[in-house]
Structure 1
Amino acid sequence: MSLLRMFCVFTFAGLISVLNADAQTSDTIRLKEVEIHSDRNNLFDQGSHITNFDSSTISLAPNQTIAELLQQNSAMFIKSYGAGGVAVISARGTEARHNNVLWHGFNINSASLGLSDLSIIPSFITDNIQLIHGGSSPVNGNAALGSTLILNNHKPEFKKAFKSMLNFETGSFGNYQGNASVDFSNDHVTSATKVFYHTSENDFTYINTTHRLKPEVKQTHGAVSGYGFLQDFCFKTGSNQYISAGIWYQFTNREIPPLMTVPESHAEQRDSVLRTYLNYRILINKHSFKVSAGWFQEYQFYVDSKSARDLDYLVINYNGEFEWRYFYNDKIIINSGVSSSLAQASFKEYDQQRQRNTTSLFSGISFRPFSGWDFHASVRSEFTNVQNPPVAPAIGFNGNLLRNKLYLVANSGISYSIPSMNDLYWIPGGNAHLKTETAFSHEAGISLFPGDSVLPQFRITGFISNVDNWIRWQPTTGGIHSPDNLQQVQIKGVEAQVSWTKSAAKLMLTLNANYSWNISAIVASENPHSAAIIDKQIPYIPEHRIAGSIYLHWHQFMLAYQQNFTGITYTTADNNSHLNDYATANVTLSKNINIQKTGIRLYFRVTNLFDAQYQVMAYRPMPGRWISTGVTLKLNHH
């Protein structure tokens, strides 16, 4: 059945049900609040490996970026271009462009680059971050061959409440950070306000291993500063009607430090981002309708006084979406919708203003045939003014094998990634003849939830993806880098998670461990010059990543130890050059003090405890051991 026919069938069924609503009043099901307010990713995640970072995890380091949060609490590889530099996610052996970041349902990846810089997004802007490993269900959009990162807030609670938070932190290398939030709600409205600021000189010392004498030098021209705010509102206009709106503004100014092979740098980059959204949701009997709109503006200014380069880049995105959800009964939920977006990019390097129009149709069904077994099937198709990618179906399930303690999960589907604007239009080097990357992905795993403190919770997942037309930028005969489609890349690997908690009296011990093994290699190519890179690991995708943590709570004290390991990372396609493996450790000690309705948290943290000297990207040094200390004040009033 074609996507259009499936979409029409689901929609027609829903309209018939609306017309018959009066006749069905007596057996209208009792809808769960989570199903009414949930984003569709929560309804169509059966068979997916999902990692949740809740407010308790985020609050342990209130000034960390999302890049730092993922680096310390998951086995995802974060490509960091040095302290204060760009940081992007590489999940399951994919490139940064294969990982989506969603905010209120909208993809906030740059239309020009096809990725998001996680080094400038504070984790504290949201109270729930969800990471869906692998290509998520097509109802959530595509291009997510590696992962989908969802910035969520918990469902609004319409009751009288007020709470506020203020945090300040200072540390090594001229590091000063602060943030504050105010949340207010009553029976009809909720409001959440967040502001943040940070500045750092990043003048750390490191060993320059590119020099024959390996001297200890101080990084120069690496300062970074930024500020921003978010404001979210949700209005309950009726018993089953809600209007939500929000704005997110952020400005970052950073000096770009020299590579280890270069004596100095005079380059600077300023990023300004403004994002807004508005949505309306209504529940009519068994039907939920949602209309959303978003407007995003990204502005970047790059200047290099030494080379007299002065460049600015402007991208504007217009987004709209209509979504219909039908709660047939307590076993079946149907979801269909249409979305449209327009991205306009004004770049000097494009020679003219470029734009991308995208229209998407999506449909999905979530089905529970019997208790403990959940299935989903979904499909999506996109139409653009550039090229039309293939229809993307997906199926998945969760199966309860043993009394809510042992689960079997699996999913399979097609994902795709359209070339970014830079891939197509950048002068010099852009390739207007690039094809869409298409991935055929499968995964399966088991999860163990013993339900007691003797055995740990455990999950292991195996996955494999075959990606056709993988895009790679490479040097040409003229010395200019240009993208091209590789014939086929195969990605395979294993992810494992272990968690164990033990409590006794006022003492609680929690252990967490995450491991990922990723093989990502070119397995076929029509290019006769590609023989040297066949079956070689793709550059900057390490095979092994480990992240572990130990949390010890006693009375109002908390001691946390975090350990990370990243295996050898190849820097060339033929795997003849590589960066050494490295391990870093962090330790945090905190104390909570409660005075009536005010909570005070004092903390002290040592980052890179053992002073490891390492690089994530070649010739871009990372800081050694450094310390920070801070205080958080919380006021709650109900």
Structure 2
Amino acid sequence: PLPSYTEDQRVDTEIHGVEVASASKPYTLNHTPYTLNSTPYSLLPTPSSIIAILLLSFVQSLSAQSDTLTLPEVQVSADKSVQVFSTAAIHRPDTALQLLNSMGTGAEVLPQMGFFLKTYGSGSLATSAFRGTGANHSTVVWNGFNIKNPMNGVIDYSLFPMGLSDDVALFDGGGSSLYGNGAIGGTLMLNDRLSFDEEFRTRLSLSGGSFSDYRQSAALHFAKKRTASNLKLWNQTARNDFPVEPDRHRQENAKLRHSGISQANRFRLNARNELGSFFWYQDVTRQIPPSRTEVNTHAQQDDQVLRAGVRWNNRQQSGMTTLQAGYFNERLLFFNDLIDSSRSQSHTWVADLKQQLYFGRNKLILKLQGQQQQASTRETGDQQRKTLAAVAGWKYYSTSEKSFLEVFLRQELVDGEAVPLTGSAGINWQVADNAVTTFRFSRSYNIPTFNDLYWQDGFAEGNPDLKPETGYGFEAGLRLSDEAFYVDLRLHSTTVANRILWVQFGGSWQPMNLDEVWSRGLSMKVGFDKSHQAWQYKNSFTVNFNRSSELGNYSAGKTEQLIYTPVITANYTIVAERGRNKAILQWNHTSRIYTTRYNNRKYSLDPFSIVNLHLVRHWDLGSIPLSTSFSANNLLNKDYEVIDSRPMPGRNFRVTVAVGL
């Protein structure tokens, strides 16, 4: 059933357009050989200086705190216990895998949630195909900011350590009316959650795995009556030199170094006003291994990312005003033995003003947003884009608490020209005591990237006359649930018009608005709990059927499956728990992956199933909580590929230890 929703909960449950209440508490890139040991290419502040400054300010805020409290394990609401005040499908990581997920990246966590990612190997590029859409049809929203890169528009999920965020959720389907450019197939939401009630806690985690994969993380949280702060650190080094079949030679040129830091603050000025700040910095050095058919050219890519934001909230009796601003800087250095080094850089400034008004069972949301993006590369030159957006939304909560309705509209001006009007409308309707139906329509868009518009080199040429891609989506859902069982079904259909596709003209490539893509399918999630003597069992099964095909003139009437888009993905997880011990067995299946446009099976990738086993135990060392885990990944040592000629690691192991102080 839809939960009750009181006036007092409305402000605190708002999560950037998605409202959540838990079962227990409302929420409110002239080559000089570079090596991993060389002086890093750095135009941003060094990690050590940033860490020193943040630690100093953090220690000062701790100086008045004399007591140390036992660290409680951070809990994330499980899918079954979350009621979402949105008609969109929202997915969250399983709480049983919390210790493991906190040491992983998005490229490792999302597949465990049943989502297919196109990954080039461990630690390498990993892009999405949410609901059968393209890699450029998803985005990431960080603390309310859309952080899609304006240069290539592709999200690399291996660059998002999950341990740098408190709250992780995936918004499945079209979301441009809420989140803006690129949100056609799905949106990954990363948020910092700060509580004034948790005083002081810290958590230190160490992890060692096969192929010299070592990870360390730390998380600190401090709160007093009017101040709350957190600090999170992440570091990973890996050789990734796993054996490659059939001759079991070691993978070459695959070293990785990945470090990051995030910091957030929340200041309660008085009963009505509150300030917040957010900070994220990453420094990643990745060697790019050759494929099975390539010669090793010692390719390497260095990424540096800086994100910062501030927010002010003013609460009124009948609503809330929010003003926020952010700055994002991304730099990339790429080089190999054959190509001179290529550097690219982007800057994004964004500010928005949002007003929420409450009247009766209604909620009105009005928002204005301004954004300026700049990018500079050798291939595109210096480019910039200015965007102005207006958003209006309405939500209605029925008096009987059996229905919820939402409507959103968004209009943007890009460099003074209007892009297609986007919007979404949906309804949740409780048709029986344990049954809720959902219907939702959305119109989304994706603006051509700077690379699409302005790229110039000897092999490719951009097209400044490209139109934005437009996505139309419809979905219908049914959720059945009781205390120990639930079934969630969703039928969906998405059409992407004016699809941007790079095609070859003579010896040069150029992007064109050539055809349409139609993606349709069914997603089903089933979960049930069972107890037997002292054991507790939790079962969850997720399966996604997606048919994605080209329409229009360029497709010549063909309806083959799009390349690198499997028809079926499935995940089954069983958790067996007794006292402080927990065993988790996972099965992940991916159907045949076609690598050619006309689905030639000779060049396709065989279906594969991967089995992972995790053993977790929680300990008490006096007043110090300790958690340990052992993981056997790809337990059956399956030889498989997700991208043609890009091998994935075989059986590998990992040990993780986490302690609270």
TM over 0.5, shorter chain: yes
Deviation at 1:33, TM superposition (A): 5.7
Paired letter, 1:70: L
Cα contact 2:535–2:577 (8 A) shared by 1: yes
Deviation at 1:369, TM superposition (A): 3.0
Q: Find 1:327's aligned residue among 334, 346, 358.
A: 358
Deviation at 1:115, TM superposition (A): 2.3
Q: Find 1:544's aligned residue among 568, 575, 599.
A: 568
Q: Find 1:492's aligned residue among 497, 500, 520.
A: 520
What is the distance in 2 between the residues matched to 1:631 and 1:46? Answer: 37
What is the distance in 1 between the residues matched to 2:412 and 2:622? Answer: 55
What is the distance in 2 between the residues matched to 1:396 and 1:390? Answer: 20
1:491-510 equivalence runs, <5 A: 491-510=519-538
The answer on 1:336 being equivalent to 2:313 is: no
Name the counterpart of 2:205.
167
Deviation at 1:458, TM superposition (A): 0.7
Q: Find 2:280's aligned residue among 245, 248, 252.
A: 248
Name the counterpart of 2:394.
365
CA RMSD of aligned residues (A): 1.7
1:334-413 equivalence runs, <5 A: 334-350=364-380, 352-370=381-399, 371-385=401-415, 387-403=417-433, 405-413=434-442
The answer on 1:574 being equivalent to 2:612 is: no
User: Matched residue of 2:613: which SS?
Assistant: strand
CA separation of 1:54 and 1:158: change in aligned 2, threshold 3 A:
farther
What is the distance in 1 between the residues matched to 2:393 and 2:219? Answer: 37
CA separation of 1:553 and 1:34: change in aligned 2, threshold 3 A:
farther
The answer on 1:95 being equivalent to 2:123 is: no
Cα contact 1:442–1:464 (8 A) shared by 2: yes
Post-superposition CA distance 1:566-621 (Å, at most 9, x none): 11111121222311111111101121101343111111111111111111111111
Any gaps of 5 or more consecutive residues in structure 1? 1-28, 208-213
Post-superposition CA distance 1:19-45 (Å, at most 9, x none): xxxxxxxxxx84216546532222895
Paired letter, 2:19: N
Post-superposition CA distance 1:361-380 (Å, at most 9, x none): 00000012332100011100
Paired letter, 2:418: N
User: Matched residue of 1:470: which SS?
Assistant: strand
What is the distance in 2 between the residues matched to 1:160 and 1:611? Answer: 43
1:148-187 equivalence runs, <5 A: 148-154=187-193, 156-159=194-197, 161-187=199-225
What is the distance in 1 between the residues matched to 2:643 and 2:191? Answer: 30
What is the distance in 2 between the residues matched to 1:266 and 1:142? Answer: 35
State, as a whole percentage, how many aligned pairs show the same letter.
27
Paired letter, 1:361: A
What is the distance in 1 between the residues matched to 2:586 and 2:13? Answer: 37
Post-superposition CA distance 1:398-451 (Å, at most 9, x none): 111112x11001101211111111111111321112111111211001001122
Name the counterpart of 2:112.
72
Deviation at 1:242, TM superposition (A): 1.0
User: Matched residue of 1:361: which SS?
Assistant: strand
User: Matched residue of 2:132: which SS?
Assistant: coil
The answer on 1:311 being equivalent to 2:342 is: yes
Name the counterpart of 2:39.
none
Name the counterpart of 2:88.
48
User: Matched residue of 1:424: which SS?
Assistant: helix
Paired letter, 1:573: R
1:216-231 equivalence runs, <5 A: 216-231=248-263
Deviation at 1:203, TM superposition (A): 0.5
1:16-55 equivalence runs, <5 A: 30-32=7-9, 35=12, 37-42=14-19, 46-53=86-93
Deviation at 1:523, TM superposition (A): 1.9
What is the distance in 1 between the residues matched to 2:241 and 2:449? Answer: 35
Name the counterpart of 2:628.
602
CA separation of 1:338 and 1:194: change in aligned 2, threshold 3 A:
same
Cα contact 1:356–1:386 (8 A) shared by 2: no
Q: Which deviates the most, 424-433 or 164-173?
A: 424-433
Paired letter, 1:420: T
User: Matched residue of 2:649: which SS?
Assistant: coil
Name the counterpart of 1:292.
324
Cα contact 1:41–1:137 (8 A) shared by 2: no
Cα contact 1:439–1:465 (8 A) shared by 2: yes
Paired letter, 1:299: R
Paired letter, 2:423: P
Cα contact 1:47–1:444 (8 A) shared by 2: no
What is the distance in 2 between the residues matched to 1:126 and 1:341? Answer: 24
TM-score with structure 1 length normalisation? 0.89
The answer on 1:625 being equivalent to 2:638 is: no
Name the counterpart of 1:459.
488
User: Matched residue of 1:579: which SS?
Assistant: coil
User: Matched residue of 1:487: which SS?
Assistant: strand
What is the distance in 2 between the residues matched to 1:491 and 1:504? Answer: 42
Name the counterpart of 1:559.
583
User: Matched residue of 1:431: which SS?
Assistant: coil
Q: Which deviates the most, 37-46 or 365-374?
A: 37-46
Paired letter, 1:379: L
Q: Find 1:524's aligned residue among 543, 552, 561.
A: 552
Name the counterpart of 2:30.
none
Cα contact 1:447–1:459 (8 A) shared by 2: yes
Cα contact 1:560–1:587 (8 A) shared by 2: yes
User: Matched residue of 1:71: which SS?
Assistant: helix
User: Matched residue of 2:529: which SS?
Assistant: strand
Q: Which deviates the most, 133-142 or 365-374?
A: 133-142
Deviation at 1:100, TM superposition (A): 1.4
Deviation at 1:552, TM superposition (A): 0.7
What is the distance in 2 between the residues matched to 1:386 and 1:115? Answer: 25
User: Matched residue of 2:123: which SS?
Assistant: coil
CA separation of 1:34 and 1:612: change in aligned 2, threshold 3 A:
farther
CA separation of 1:607 and 1:60: change in aligned 2, threshold 3 A:
same
CA separation of 1:346 and 1:362: change in aligned 2, threshold 3 A:
same
Paired letter, 1:51: H
What is the distance in 2 between the residues matched to 1:217 and 1:473? Answer: 35
User: Matched residue of 1:114: which SS?
Assistant: coil
Cα contact 1:228–1:249 (8 A) shared by 2: yes
Cα contact 1:373–1:400 (8 A) shared by 2: yes
Cα contact 1:499–1:512 (8 A) shared by 2: yes
User: Matched residue of 2:413: which SS?
Assistant: strand
Deviation at 1:356, TM superposition (A): 1.3
Paired letter, 2:627: R
Any gaps of 5 or more consecutive residues in structure 2? 1-5, 21-83
CA separation of 1:176 and 1:254: change in aligned 2, threshold 3 A:
same
Deviation at 1:262, TM superposition (A): 1.6
Name the counterpart of 2:640.
614
Cα contact 2:223–2:229 (8 A) shared by 1: yes
